[in-house]
Chains A and B, each alone.
Chain A
Amino acid sequence: MKPVDRVEEAIRKRLDFSASAKLRDRLLEDVLNAQKKSKAAETKPEIRRIIMKSPIAKLAAVAAIVAGVVLSLALVDRAISPTYAFEQTLAAVADVRYIHAVRRDAAGQVDDERWIEVGSDGFQVRYRQDNPPNRLIIEDGETVSVHYKDKNTIILYDPEEKQYQWIANLKEWLNELAGDGSLTIEQNVGYWGRKAHLVRWLKLNIDCYIDPASKLPIALAGYEVSYEEPPAGVFEIVIADGVMVVDKRPGAESAEEPEWLAAKSANDEIASANFSNARLALAAGRYGEAAELFAKVVEVQSGRNWAWFWLGKSHYELGQYDAAIHEFSKVIEMFADSEVVPHYCHLARGLAYAAKGMKDMAQKDLDVALPIMIDALRMIEGATLFDYADDPLYRGLSESERPGAQQSRVMMVNRLRIVSGQSFGYDPDASTEANEQAIAAWEQWHKNSGEIGFTPDAELVPIP
């Protein structure tokens, strides 16, 4: 068997483990015993009913109920106090059946509207995404339809092959975020004239506004969110007369793929390969090659923010600071209409300005990034996107291969050394107390002046 192209087949057909007769019998005995015990338990008389026949038990139960009511009243009294806990949002989101998410452009026009029907497991059952004027995507549970209105064409896919979504599972996602330790809450901050609490995740740079009454998110990562039932027919795939249909579902007979679609698929595939190779080139220090490949990516996929960012990084490394500033500015513009601030990109552009000797411009950008960078020395989750930006291969690493807290902290200290020209003696091998002093010194420096002192050849702390 040729291993290089037969791995799938080898795993499918040759990766087999079987239980020995001894193991099979031993496990089976336990399994059948478990079933037997479970059946026996089902036939036992209901203990609650027997106990309740006794008048003393009835009295005790009444007493317990009274105590319970008193306790609940105490809890209700607490609940009406204005203190908000994120767990209330997690509980509220569990009951959500429909999500309506809307994003607007700078002119206030809707540029992305999504309807999601949520199943009992929290995942989407049906989905609609409208990106006016040209694209409408509908998943009705069995088929995904992508309508390119400008091309008067609908492409039908099997959901197994192609899926569109907003957030795969809102409750699970919020649950995960709740557990990552970087969540902060500001109560009663308001959102466009509405009362709201602000929940912020430093690590992902995401803001979420919560309605104090329903406890549900009303704005999340640049989208306004509501939970009403959609109008009838929202999830129906309607094919109007005269629209060309390309059916890509398995076994379907379909009209020939139009040239523009074939070209688009080919371009996307090439861009995807270029993006992969460009990341490898950048990580290996082949900056010219990386710049060339990233430039090809953004030529066909102009909305790919990380391709723009790493194109800027490649130009920065090549000493082409004007080009780098242009590309970093593109990324910052992309986020301008949303609540998201790409701090890592302000750092990168600030450094490019500093390298050109444009100190005021550099200071302006770095003033945006520095508070987050210094906070990250204590709350290390805030460093994640900086690490991601500095390592184009980060996304391919598993959790265990990614930098740990100590490594992230040292990398952040090094960034601060380059920006500020200051060294406050952070040493990963030193005691916590000694390093606490270094962190406090960084905080003090920022509080006092935060004046940058671009030092590209600053002495860096070795990464542990």
Chain B
Amino acid sequence: MIEDEVLKWKFKCGSTDALQRIYEKYLNRLLTVAMALLNDTEAAEDVVHDVFVSFAESAEDFRLAGSLKSYLTTCVVNRARDRMRANQRGPVRLDESMSMSSCSDTPEQEIVCSELAQRLNHAIAQLPDEQREVVVLHLKGEVKFREIARLQGVSVNTTQGRYRYGLDKLRSLLNGEVEK
């Protein structure tokens, strides 16, 4: 994490190299979070694009005491929420997403993933919004329950409960589907 502290400082000083390094370091992680929250390649691309562009524009006012990783992940969550709210819907559900182009079956595809990742993602899309957010943020964003609780405006206990319920549901959805 020392590297991140240096990157944050250099970025604030206007370094293009630092911005490029941050981008390369976190692009796929943020794409994964966005895909897991939205289950829609186009929307995920847009969200990650907007997060990085607005991050790049923020250098002068940029002040961050905490973790860069959590900060960027939280930005993705907020934009994903806005997106879902604007569409008045959750992520693309399993039945709908079957008809959209798979993320690995054409050479033109912009976001690449394994078949297992697709199956996991489709299962995650079945979770209620709050549970999905906790599961994705904790497991893929490595955000602590305490931070997620703040983001969702609930207690840590509630967050942990949502996590537990979410995993239970995933276990039943993935039963027999996930193989080594």
CB interface residues, B 145-162, toward A, < 8 Å: 145-146, 149-150, 153-157
Say yes or no: A34-B32 contact (C-beta < 8 A), given A12-B139, A163-B156, A169-B153.
no
* A interface bracket (residues with beta carbon within 8 Å of B): 35 or more
- Would A38 and B174 count as touching, CB distance under 8 A? no
- Would B112 and A17 count as touching, CB distance under 8 A? yes
From B35, which residue of chain A is reached at the shortest CB distance?
A: A17
A54 within 8 A of B: no
- Residue total for B at the interface (Cβ-Cβ under 8 A): 65
Q: B109-151 interface mask toward A, CB cutoff 8 Å, 1 = contact, 0 = none?
A: 1111110110011001000111100010001100011100110
Q: Which of A16, A38, A160 contacts B32 (CB 8 A)?
A: A16
Query: A38 — which chain B residues lie within 8 A by C-beta?
Result: 56-60
- Would B20 and A32 count as touching, CB distance under 8 A? yes
CB interface residues, A 141-174, toward B, < 8 Å: 159-163, 165, 168-169, 172-173
CB interface residues, B 97-116, toward A, < 8 Å: 103, 109-114, 116
- Would B32 and A17 count as touching, CB distance under 8 A? yes
Question: In the bound complex, how far is the Cα of B117 from the Cα of A258, in angstroms?
Answer: 45
Question: In the bound complex, how far is the Cα of B46 from the Cα of A19, in angstroms?
Answer: 12
Question: In the bound complex, how far is the Cα of B25 from the Cα of A19, in angstroms?
Answer: 12
- Would B156 and A121 count as touching, CB distance under 8 A? no
Q: A1-25 interface mask toward B, CB cutoff 8 Å, 1 = contact, 0 = none?
A: 1011111101110111111101110
Query: A401 — which chain B residues lie within 8 A by C-beta?
Result: 128
Query: A12 — which chain B residues lie within 8 A by C-beta?
Result: 139-140
Query: A163 — which chain B residues lie within 8 A by C-beta?
Result: 146, 149, 155-157
CB interface residues, A 99-138, toward B, < 8 Å: 121, 123
Q: How far is the CB of B78 from chain A (nearest CB, A)?
A: 14
- Would A19 and B165 count as touching, CB distance under 8 A? no
Q: A64-105 interface mask toward B, CB cutoff 8 Å, 1 = contact, 0 = none?
A: 000000000000000000000000000000000000000000
Question: In the bound complex, how far is the Cα of B126 from the Cα of A401, in angstroms?
Answer: 12
Classify the secondary structure of B's interface with A.
helix
- Would A14 and B155 count as touching, CB distance under 8 A? no
- Would A397 and B156 count as touching, CB distance under 8 A? no
- Would A10 and B110 count as touching, CB distance under 8 A? no
- Would B140 and A27 count as touching, CB distance under 8 A? no
- Would B56 and A34 count as touching, CB distance under 8 A? yes
A35 within 8 A of B: yes
- Would B116 and A27 count as touching, CB distance under 8 A? no
Q: Which of A23, A24, A35 contacts B57 (CB 8 A)?
A: A35
B27 within 8 A of A: yes
Q: Which of B110, B146, B154, B177 contacts A19 (CB 8 A)?
A: B110
- Would B23 and A31 count as touching, CB distance under 8 A? yes
- Would A399 and B129 count as touching, CB distance under 8 A? yes
A241 within 8 A of B: no
A28 within 8 A of B: yes
Q: How far is the CB of A400 from chain B (nearest CB, A)?
A: 7
Say yes or no: A30-B53 contact (C-beta < 8 A), given A12-B139, A163-B155, A400-B90.
yes
- Would B155 and A168 count as touching, CB distance under 8 A? yes
- Would B177 and A3 count as touching, CB distance under 8 A? yes
Q: Which of A23, A31, A35, A168 contacts B111 (CB 8 A)?
A: A23
B3 within 8 A of A: no
Q: How far is the CB of B112 from chain A (nearest CB, A)?
A: 5
From B117, which residue of chain A is reached at the shortest CB distance?
A: A15
Question: In the bound complex, how far is the Cα of B152 from the Cα of A329, in angstroms?
Answer: 35
- Would A7 and B170 count as touching, CB distance under 8 A? yes
B179 within 8 A of A: yes
Say yes or no: A18-B113 contact (C-beta < 8 A), given A4-B175, A23-B45, A163-B146.
yes
Q: How far is the CB of A71 from chain B (nearest CB, A)?
A: 30
- Would A22 and B110 count as touching, CB distance under 8 A? yes
From B142, which residue of chain A is reached at the shortest CB distance?
A: A12
Q: Which of B45, B48, B113, B153 contacts A16 (CB 8 A)?
A: B113
A256 within 8 A of B: no
- Would B135 and A11 count as touching, CB distance under 8 A? yes
Query: A39 — which chain B residues lie within 8 A by C-beta?
Result: 14, 59
From B112, which residue of chain A is reached at the shortest CB distance?
A: A18
Query: A448 — which chain B residues lie within 8 A by C-beta?
Result: none
Q: B44-76 interface mask toward A, CB cutoff 8 Å, 1 = contact, 0 = none?
A: 110011001111111110000000000000000
Q: How far is the CB of B14 from chain A (nearest CB, A)?
A: 6
A398 within 8 A of B: yes
Q: How far is the CB of A61 from chain B (nearest CB, A)?
A: 26
- Would B20 and A28 count as touching, CB distance under 8 A? yes
Say yes or no: A31-B56 contact (C-beta < 8 A), given A6-B178, A160-B145.
yes
* Residues in chain A within 8 A of chain B (CB atoms): 1, 3-8, 10-12, 14-20, 22-24, 27-28, 30-32, 34-35, 37-39, 42, 121, 123, 159-163, 165, 168-169, 172-173, 176, 396-401
18 inter-chain pairs at a CB distance below 8 angstroms, sorted by A residue, are A1-B178, A3-B174, A3-B176, A3-B178, A7-B167, A8-B139, A11-B139, A15-B117, A16-B32, A20-B110, A27-B27, A28-B20, A35-B19, A38-B59, A160-B144, A163-B155, A398-B130, A400-B90
* Residues in chain B within 8 A of chain A (CB atoms): 14, 16, 19-20, 23, 27-28, 31-32, 35-36, 44-45, 48-49, 52-60, 90, 103, 109-114, 116-117, 120-121, 124, 128-131, 135, 139-140, 144-146, 149-150, 153-157, 165, 167, 170-171, 174-180
In the complex, the 4 A-B pairs of residues with the closest C-beta atoms, listed nearest first: A398-B128, A1-B180, A3-B178, A163-B156
If A34-B53, A398-B130 are given as contacts, then 4 extra A-B residue pairs at C-beta distance below 8 Å, sorted by A number, are A7-B174, A11-B140, A17-B117, A173-B153
